[in-house]
A and B are shown apart, each in its own frame.
Chain A
Amino acid sequence: AQKVTQAQTEISVVEKEDVTLDCVYETRDTTYYLFWYKQPPSGELVFLIRRNSFDEQNEISGRYSWNFQKSTSSFNFTITASQVVDSAVYFCALSEATQGGSEKLVFGKGTKLTVNP
């Protein structure tokens, strides 16, 4: 069965610090997708990134970067020079093909990040 583990329940940092959120996944599929979503206090999930299992290149988007390592089944997320607005719960998710041909997401339990001024 598919499984996503976010071992860090809560992280607290001071503004401008770098922070890495860990994500480890389990799957038997050879083709799969990994995602990161941000859920601020307002509740809406914001899509951050989607990564194909065949693409192990690291990705950088502004202060955000992602490190995908198939060998360790990890898809870690780093925020550089964190800001107070980064405070949110971050979810890592893995897609799972359904019988109907669509994909459903298996979510980790989330990591609550608090950035203090």
Chain B
Amino acid sequence: GAVVSQHPSWVICKSGTSVKIECRSLDFQATTMFWYRQFPKQSLMLMATSNEGSKATYEQGVEKDKFLINHASLTLSTLTVTSAHPEDSSFYICSARDYLRTSGGSTDTQYFGPGTRLTVL
């Protein structure tokens, strides 16, 4: 099945530093990847849609200068949390869209990475 990896799985950093999180689709190409944020005991909140070779589309209320997204290839998207602060501490999850068109139809499913737990001190 489709596998998505994230690195690192957890990170602790000091306030004011920047943190980069990588999301990779391991066995399929993903023109579209998504970045979510999840607070404890809450649902996933979509932050942005990342399209390969173009600018990311951010959801309302998400600061694009704070959360930099780069989708440089069909298998890699990165999220950089710039000048991180304690309120940015959260669980960040990426997903990759696996779209396959066949003679019998098409399938379009998001597969999720294992998540990255960010703690900003």
A-B contact count (CB 8 A): 58
CB of B43 closer than 8 Å to a CB of A: yes
Alpha-carbon gap, A33 to B106, bound state (A): 12
In Å, the complex CA distance between A59 and B98 comes to 22
Interface string of A39-58 (1 = CB under 8 A from B): 00011111100100000000
A70 on interface, CB distance cutoff 8 Å:
no
With A100-B57, A102-B97 in contact, do A47 and B111 touch (Cβ < 8 Å)? yes
Q: Could you name 10 residue pairs across A and B whose Cβ atoms are closer than 8 Å? A: A45-B44, A47-B109, A50-B109, A100-B51, A102-B31, A103-B97, A103-B108, A104-B46, A104-B49, A105-B34
Asked if A61 CB lies within 8 Å of chain B CBs, one says: no
Which A residues lie within 8 Å of B97 (CB)? 102-103
A70 to B106, CA, bound (A): 21
User: Cα distance A6–B22 when bound, in Å?
Assistant: 31
Q: Is B67 an interface residue (CB 8 A)?
A: no
Check: B8 CB closer than 8 A to any chain A CB.
no
Give the chain B neighbours of A104 by CB distance below 8 A: 34, 46, 49
Chain A residues proximal to chain B, CB less than 8 Å: 33, 35, 37, 42-47, 50, 91, 95, 98-100, 102-105, 107-110
Residues in A neighbouring B42, C-beta threshold 8 A: 109
Task: Determine if B32 is an interface residue (Cβ-Cβ < 8 Å).
Answer: yes
Can you name the residue of chain A whose Cβ is closest to the Cβ of B4?
A44
A49 (CB) vs chain B CBs: closest residue: B109
Asked, given contacts A103-B97, A104-B34, A109-B42, whether A47 binds B49 with beta carbons under 8 Å apart, the answer is: no
B91–A43 contact, CB under 8 A? yes
Q: Are A43 and B49 in contact (CB under 8 A)?
A: no
A102 with B32, Cβ < 8 A, contacts A50-B107, A91-B44, A110-B43 known = yes
Check if A98 sits within 8 Å of B107, measured CB to CB.
Answer: no
